[in-house]
Amino acid sequence: MNRKIIISIVVAVVVIAFAVTMFAANNQAPEVEGGRTADDPADQPAVLTP
């Protein structure tokens, strides 16, 4: 019984860590792409100012 509980907890931690990693990667992707697409230095102030 204890072994099944420990295995299930380990699996849950791995799944949660994978979900958090994918969530963080999806949130950071637009910022990284926006930084790379600003080729001209003149375009960067227009992108950075709200």
Judged against a pLDDT cut of 70, whether residue 41 lies above it is answered with no
Which pTM value belongs to this model? 0.46
CB proximity list for 47: less than 8 A, separation 6 or greater = 34, 38
Query: Positive or negative, the Cα torsion across 31, 34, 39, 40?
Result: negative
DSSP letters spanning 4-24: HHHHHHHHHHHHHHHHHHHHH
- Share the mean pLDDT of the chain: 71
pLDDT above 70 as % of the chain = 48
